Structure 1
Amino acid sequence: MADVVSQIDVQLRQEMVEAQKEVARWTTEQKQVADTEARSGQRMLDEDKENLLRAHEELSAIHGADETLSQRAKEDSQRIEELRRELQRLTAIQATLPPEEQQLSRQLEQQRLLLQERERAFQQNNLQNEQKLSELQKGGSMYKKWLGLEFERVEDERLRIVFTHVDPQAPTRAFTFYVYVDSSDRYHVVKCEPEVHDVQSLVDALNTSNDFSAFVRNMRKRFQQLV
């Protein structure tokens, strides 16, 4: 009887040892799987961060191009208006002079031709600008939707910049600041919600580098640090 009990005891011990080995093997495998998934997840997170940064840079470039095209169209329009006023002035002078004033007539004709040429060029450029602006606005709308970055013109020629998707716990929470450019082409931030303690140093760096895209990225980083 004692021999039987002893054999059973030995067998049970062997089965327990085998079971412990199996548990240890399974635990090691699961840890390796978890480590692999963690590394993969970190790589994906790093890639997402890099893609987000690149997309923000592209959006800033889109905004800059939009501003440049609008300014160029405005300048062309002003120049054409100046030529039109000059033509009206010369026409009025011509009406007060006798027909033999050939020099004034030639000058008037030159102004007419120049105005016509400028108007044709303006219409062509304006059409091209409208097409480019339409494409830029479509691209900007896409970035606004996916990245939560929006530019809005408000009163006094100020630009309101709004970030969302900054706070993971509240993706729709808005982080905003207002910026404008003075007559000396220097940037100023007049309002920031929530407040960023070193915003002035960022503005000083912007006025030195004139890199508005980098300034926008740095403001987003500051907002992320406040979360």
Structure 2
Amino acid sequence: MAEATTQWIPPATNIAQEDVKGKMFTFMRNFDDHIRREKETILSNRNKWIAQNAQDRENFVKMQSTIETYKTDAELLSDKMGKEKEELQKATRDIEEYKEKRDIQFARKQELEKQIMELKRELEQKRQAKSAMIQENAVQQRKNVPELLCYEEKLACKIIGVATDVLTFQFHNIDEDDWNRRFLVTIQIAGKQYSLKACDPELSTAKRLVDELNSSRDFFRFLKKVRQAFKNSLT
């Protein structure tokens, strides 16, 4: 039995070309719009990036300039602070030196004030002692003067000088060859002890006689011995 030959027949399609074309046109139009929008977006983003980059560069330059300014200011401030620190240290040293000198001067001032007070006390004591001595001498002189006036008559001596601190006695009628010849002895009466100030003519015993006067306080006896010593000096 002979096999029957079967021929393949493609299925029948019913495609509307106009509809396909319309869809393809719509797709292409939408695709083109999408591409255009994407390009615009990319271009806009690019322009924004360029502008932002330019702004960032400008800000970077400004920041660099600001940083350099701050660095310069920091260096100047550091130098200034260093100088101020040196000045502060110097001022501190000067203050310490001043305090030290002031303390030394204060101590010296106190020492000087102490010395001055001591000197004042010493001077006051000396002044009081001198005043007491002057008063004592004045009292003694008041006692001595009447007696001495009497001595002029009995011993042929005359008081020719009465000062604050000296008495000068002038003797006469000693030299038989010249009754008018004058013999002088001057006594220092300042102080508690008498002393010989002058003797004319000189007597080797004059100082001893004054020492005896200081011991005895007997003027009449002293003048009597002086007169005798002058008389003995002529022989």
TM range (shorter): 0.3 to 0.5
TM-score by length of 1: 0.36
TM-score by length of 2: 0.35
More helix by share: 1
> Which structure carries more relative contact order (alpha carbon 8 Å, separation 6+)?
1
